[in-house]
Structures are given as structure tokens and as C-alpha cells.
């Protein structure tokens, strides 16, 4: 079974550096995919309220041979649940659906700055963490000014920021700020979610030279630059293939070749433009 390295977070907890994401996966499909992922050796599962599959994820964890305390479980607070009281209720509802009495990491999914509730929501996550039911708390899709504001107004630094990050969009500014504050960088859409990266000729050349698949080359690049990475797949062979990337070691030249692919190409929304009612 592949040996996934751990990263130590600023609060002392550890997170596996490679995990399994389940965005755009139906509840019953998520159950099957997470069951395989756990059986293969994944120990980090990334879901969210809005994915509609917390129940399937919870069922897969409960049915697996892996003890709950050996699974690192992340879920996220949806935009409509921002604000203290809604956040507290949303967290309880997520635990209920997941069938567990704690999560390892709870994230604010998007800052939604136009609605200006994210500082209040962050304070609610601090309360939730104090209750012991979220071991660690963090954020997702926060830009430098959102991070700076919650830090300035609460004194509490998130352990992790989950952001879109792949070779076509490497987020140097955010990674630098994360480094300064000891915030872990977690990459969503690490394979660029079907936007051509896996067909890139540079990726293909590195993969061929390293004797691995394009997805493994990209995931090995993420691991080499220190990202936590959560590829999604519902294809059994790919689920196994992606985990095996932890055993791939790229040379400095191969890492540099993939780093040379930066083109500022975001596939997702600009966090400053996302507001609470945007996606229902
Ligand atoms: N916080 C946020 O706002 C946010 C936003 C987006 C995503 N996320 C998280 O990040 C996770 C990953 O991002 P993502 O799902 O957008 O994209 P991704 O992991 O970059 O790419 C997933 C796509 O790549 C395909 N794929 C996976 N492994 C492959 C392989 N070895 N070879 C070829 N193709 C492969 C998958 O196809 P098949 O499934 O058909 O195999 C799927 O179409 C999500 O599941 C979610 O947990 C978070």
C-alpha cells in the first residue's frame, strides 16, 4: 500500500499530503468511490455540503475496515450558511449526514466578500473548533486580502487554504503568503479538472521520461512543491493510479519543466466575485 506522507499543520495536527476529492460525484457513486479509495490506502477524504454526497461519504467510511480516527475527513460550510447561527446549524447538519461526531477539518467554502459575513463566519468556526467537533479549521478560495482580514480581526490563522492550483495556475502570491503564516496550501482541481493539462506535451514528455502517467507526473509535481493534493476520480484504475503518485520522485529538471507551464489560467470563479446567492 502506498505510503502517503503527512504534513504537520500549524495547530500540530497532521494531514495526509494526498487525498481523495468527491466534487460532482453523486451520493451513491461517492460511496463506492470512497470505499475503493479507503481500501487502496487513501486516508484523506474531501467533501462539502454543496457536493450533496456527505451521506455517501459517511456510509463508505462507516463500512470500511479503516478506523474513523485513521481517516482525515474534511467538509465545508456552504455560502448560504454564512453568519454565526446558520454556520453552527450547518455544521451540526453536516456531522449528522456524515454519521460522525467530528470532522478533522472544517472549511469556509468561499469568502463571498460582497456579503461581508466571512469574519463572523470565521468566528463561528473558532467556536466549533473549541467544542472539539472540528479538530482543525481553515478556509477555501480565500485571496490574500481575505486571509489578512480574518487574521487581523480575530487573531486566528487558518491552518489551511484550499485553492485552485495546478501547473497552469500556480498561485505564487498566495503560496508566498501561506508560507509566511505557516498556512498549508491544498490544491483543488490539481489535474486542472479536464482543461487540457493531462494532454500537455510538456507533461507528456516528463511523464514518459519518468516512466509514469501524465496524472502521476502532475501529482508528483504538487507533492514536490509542498501542496496537499486531492484529485478526484470515479474510475477505479485512476483512483489507484493517482494514489501511486506518492511513490514518484521527479528530478529537479522535471519539476522545473512542469513549473514552466504557468499561464494564469484559472478554471474556476474569481473569489471576489462569488456572492452567497450566486449558485443557489
Ligand atoms: N474548494 C473548492 O471550491 C473546490 C473546487 C473544486 C474542487 N474542489 C475539490 O478538489 C477535488 C479535485 O478537483 P476536481 O474534481 O475539480 O478536479 P481534478 O481532480 O483536477 O480532475 C478530475 C478530473 O480528472 C479526471 N481524472 C482523474 N484522475 C485521472 C487520471 N489519472 N487520468 C486521467 N484523468 C483523470 C477525472 O475523471 P473521472 O472521474 O471520470 O475518472 C475528472 O474528470 C474535488 O473533487 C473537490 O474535492 C474544491
pLDDT in tens, 187-205: 999 999 989 999 999 999 9
**Is residue 106 flagged as an active site residue?**
no
% of the chain exceeding 90 in pLDDT: 99
pLDDT at position 100, please? 98
Question: Is the pLDDT score of 46 beyond 80?
Answer: yes
Question: Is the pLDDT score of 246 beyond 90?
Answer: yes
Residue 140, strand partner residues: 162
Closest C-alpha residue for ligand 1 atom 32: 215
pLDDT tens, 211-242?
999 999 999 999 999 999 999 999 999 999 99
pLDDT at position 83, please? 98
pLDDT at position 247, please? 98
pLDDT at position 54, please? 98
Closest C-alpha residue for ligand 1 atom 5: 188
Strand spans (E) along the chain = 6-8, 14-16, 20-21, 44-46, 72-77, 103-108, 134-140, 160-164, 184-188, 228-229
How confident is the model over 167-184, as a mean pLDDT? 98
CA atoms of 203 and 218, how far apart (whole Å): 7
pLDDT at position 1, please? 86
109 Cα nearest atom in ligand 1: 1
pLDDT tens, 125-137?
999 999 999 999 9
* Annotated binding residue 169: no
pLDDT at position 280, please? 77
pLDDT at position 250, please? 98
How far apart are the CA of 87 and the centre of ligand 1, in A? 27
Question: Is the pLDDT score of 120 beyond 80?
Answer: yes
pLDDT at position 216, please? 98
Neighbours of 5 (CB within 10 A): 10
Question: Is the pLDDT score of 59 beyond 80?
Answer: yes
| Domains of the chain listed by start with CATH number | 15-195 (3.20.20.100)
pLDDT at position 231, please? 98
CA atoms of 75 and 106, how far apart (whole Å): 5
Question: Is the pLDDT score of 141 beyond 80?
Answer: yes
Residue 184, strand partner residues: 160
How confident is the model over 54-78, as a mean pLDDT? 98
How far apart are the CA of 114 and the centre of ligand 1, in A? 28
% of the chain exceeding 70 in pLDDT: 100
Q: Is 271 in the pocket of ligand 1 (CB under 6 A)?
A: no
How confident is the model over 14-26, as a mean pLDDT? 98
pLDDT at position 89, please? 98
Question: Is the pLDDT score of 124 beyond 90?
Answer: yes
117 CB-contact burial (10 Å; exposed 0-12 / middle 13-18 / buried 19+): buried
Closest by CA position to 56, among listed 28, 35, 19? 28
Question: Is the pLDDT score of 179 beyond 90?
Answer: yes
How is residue 170 written as a grid cell?
500556480
pLDDT at position 35, please? 98
CA atoms of 208 and 213, how far apart (whole Å): 7
Question: Is the pLDDT score of 210 beyond 90?
Answer: yes
Q: How confident is the model at residue 277 (pLDDT cuts 50, 70, 90)?
A: very high
Mean pLDDT of the chain: 98
How far apart are the CA of 231 and the centre of ligand 1, in A? 5
- What is the H or E stretch that residue 89 is in? helix 84-98
Neighbours of 209 (CB within 10 A): 14
Amino acid at each position: 500500500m502506498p505510503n502517503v506522507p503527512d504534513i504537520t499543520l500549524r495547530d500540530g495536527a497532521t494531514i495526509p499530503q494526498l487525498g481523495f476529492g468527491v466534487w460532482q460525484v453523486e451520493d451513491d457513486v461517492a460511496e463506492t468511490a470512497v470505499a475503493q479509495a479507503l481500501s487502496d490506502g487513501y486516508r484523506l477524504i474531501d467533501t462539502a455540503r454543496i457536493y450533496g454526497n456527505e451521506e455517501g461519504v459517511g456510509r463508505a467510511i462507516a463500512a470500511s475496515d479503516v478506523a474513523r480516527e485513521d481517516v482525515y475527513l474534511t467538509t465545508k460550510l456552504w455560502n448560504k450558511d454564512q453568519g454565526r447561527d446558520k454556520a453552527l446549524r450547518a455544521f451540526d447538519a453536516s456531522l449528522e449526514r456524515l454519521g460522525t461526531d467530528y470532522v478533522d477539518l472544517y472549511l469556509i467554502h468561499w469568502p463571498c466578500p460582497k456579503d461581508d459575513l466571512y469574519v463572523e463566519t470565521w468566528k463561528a468556526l473558532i467556536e466549533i473548533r473549541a467544542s472539539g467537533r472540528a479538530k482543525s479549521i481553515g478556509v477555501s478560495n480565500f485571496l490574500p486580502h481575505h486571509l489578512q482580514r480574518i487574521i487581523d480581526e480575530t487573531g486566528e490563522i487558518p491552518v489551511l487554504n484550499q485553492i485552485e492550483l495546478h501547473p497552469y495556475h500556480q498561485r505564487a502570491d498566495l503560496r508566498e503568503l501561506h508560507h509566511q503564516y505557516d498556512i498549508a496550501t491544498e490544491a483543488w482541481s490539481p489535474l486542472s479538472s479536464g482543461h487540457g493539462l493531462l494532454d500537455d506535451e510538456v507533461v507528456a514528455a516528463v511523464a514518459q521520461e519518468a516512466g509514469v502517467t501524465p496524472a502521476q507526473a502532475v501529482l508528483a509535481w504538487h507533492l514536490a512543491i509542498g501542496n496537499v493534493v486531492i484529485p478526484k476520480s470515479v474510475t477505479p484504475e485512476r483512483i489507484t493510479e493517482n494514489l501511486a503518485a506518492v511513490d514518484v520522485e521527479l528530478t529537479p529538471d522535471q519539476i522545473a519543466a512542469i513549473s514552466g507551464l504557468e499561464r494564469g489560467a484559472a478554471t474556476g470563479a474569481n473569489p471576489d466575485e462569488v456572492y452567497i446567492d450566486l449558485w443557489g
